[in-house]
């Protein structure tokens, strides 16, 4: 049968499993051992940030053999660069960049909304494009040429696998003062 294998959570020295038996009331923990192998896996269902930390696999030999591993728990998040507010001059390019961090897999799609209007379905606003670069970090760009006042408002980046996030765009209609003009205006 071999020597029993145990999994221990180091932060509180809690014995989680011994062999295939679970010794904690937290039913998310389970030891997996495919028959005929020497592989023992600790499975934690519905991992939470509080599960982060050091875990130890012990083999009950003399002396005891132990393997220590660190579980890092990352939470997927989405952000739009320069949020919450972006100020652009009229007739300039609006470049909105949405970044998806620590996603287990790339989204099937990323939609952009201006107010309640889906930008990919909008035919009234020409001169825009959307680009998505999928990978461990997924990036979606919404580019609008020749910014106009009606482009002001709330834009939302809505990935298929995360909650949406937003940015408020302000299109400025005025002359940009140089620093010397600004100082001399007093």
Looking only at the bridges linking them, the beta strands covering 117-118 and 65-71 are unpaired
- Edge-first strand order for the sheet with 110-114 is 85-89, 165-172, 153-159, 110-114, 117-118
Q: One fold for both 5-71 and 77-172?
A: yes
Domain boundaries, the chain: 5-71, 77-172
Q: Write down the CATH number for the domain with range 77-172.
A: 2.60.40.10
Higher local confidence (pLDDT), 126 or 40: 40
Q: What CATH number does domain 5-71 carry, 1.10.3470.10, 2.40.110.10, 2.60.40.10, 3.40.718.10?
A: 2.60.40.10
Q: What mean pLDDT comes out for the span 25-42?
A: 93
Predicted local distance difference test score (pLDDT) of residue 158: 96
Among candidates 68, 39, 66, which has minimal Cα distance to 53? 68
Output the average pLDDT for the chain.
90
| Cα(94)–Cα(88) distance, integer angstroms | 7
- Residue 132 phi, psi (nearest 5): -130, 135
pLDDT exceeds cutoff 60 at 181: no
């Amino acid at each position: 049968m071999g020597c029993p294998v145990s999994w221990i959570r180091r932060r509180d020295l809690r014995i989680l499993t011994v062999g295939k038996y679970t010794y904690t009331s937290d039913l998310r923990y389970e030891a997996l051992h495919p028959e005929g192998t020497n592989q023992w896996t600790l499975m934690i269902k519905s991992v939470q940030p509080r599960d982060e930390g050091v875990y130890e696999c012990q083999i009950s030999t003399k002396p005891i053999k132990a393997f220590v591993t660190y579980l890092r728990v990352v939470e997927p998040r989405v952000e739009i660069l320069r949020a919450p507010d972006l100020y652009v001059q009229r007739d300039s390019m609006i470049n909105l960049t949405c970044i998806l961090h620590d996603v287990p897999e790339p989204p099937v799609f990323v939609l952009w909304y201006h107010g309640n209007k889906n930008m990919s379905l909008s035919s009234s606003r020409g001169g825009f494009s959307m680009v998505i670069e999928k990978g461990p970090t997924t990036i979606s760009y919404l580019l609008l040429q020749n910014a106009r006042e009606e482009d002001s408002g709330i834009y939302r980046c809505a990935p298929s696998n995360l909650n949406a996030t937003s940015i408020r765009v302000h299109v400025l209609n005025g002359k940009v003062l140089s620093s010397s003009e600004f100082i001399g205006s007093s």
